[in-house]
Amino acid sequence: MNVCVIGTGYVGLVTGTVFADLGNEVICVDNVKKKIDMLKSGVMPIYEPGLRELVLRNVEEKRLSFTTSISKGVRNSKVVFIAVGTPPKANGESDLTAVEIAAKEIAQNMDDYKIIVNKSTVPVGTGNFVRNIIEKYKKNDCEFDVVSNPEFLKEGSAISDCLYPDRIVIGVPNHHVAMSLLELYAPLERPMLITDVESAELIKYASNAFLATKISFINFIANVCEKAGADVTLVAKGMGYDTRIGAHFLGAGLGYGGSCFPKDTLSLLCTAKKLGEDSTLLEAVIDINENRVPRFVKRISARLKPMKGKVIGVLGLAFKPNTDDLRDAKSLEIIKNLLKKKAIVRVYDPIALENAKPLLKGAVFCKNPYDLAKGTDALVVVTEWNEFKLLNLEKLRQSMRGCYLFDGRNIYTRERAERAGFKYICIGMR
- Active-site position among 4, 28, 162, 260: 260
Beta bridge partners of 79: 3, 115
DSSP single-letter state for residue 69:
-
| Helix residue spans in 229-259 (DSSP H) | 232-240
Q: Is there a contact between 189 and 163 (Cβ–Cβ < 8 Å)?
A: no
Residues 6+ positions from 39 with CB-CB distance below 8 Å: 8, 13, 28, 45, 55, 66
Task: Please state whether beta strands 364-365 and 79-82 pair in parallel, antiparallel, or not at all (unpaired).
Answer: unpaired
List Cα–Cα distances, 146 to 205, 262, 330, in angstroms.
19, 27, 37
Residues composing the chain:
430
Q: Is there a contact between 124 and 201 (Cβ–Cβ < 8 Å)?
A: yes
Beta bridge partners of 315: 348, 381
Active site residue 260: yes
Backbone angles phi, psi at 219, to 5 degrees: -70, -30
Q: Is there a contact between 370 and 394 (Cβ–Cβ < 8 Å)?
A: no
Tell me the CA end-to-end span of the chain in Å, nearest whole number. 58
Point out the residues that are catalytic: 260
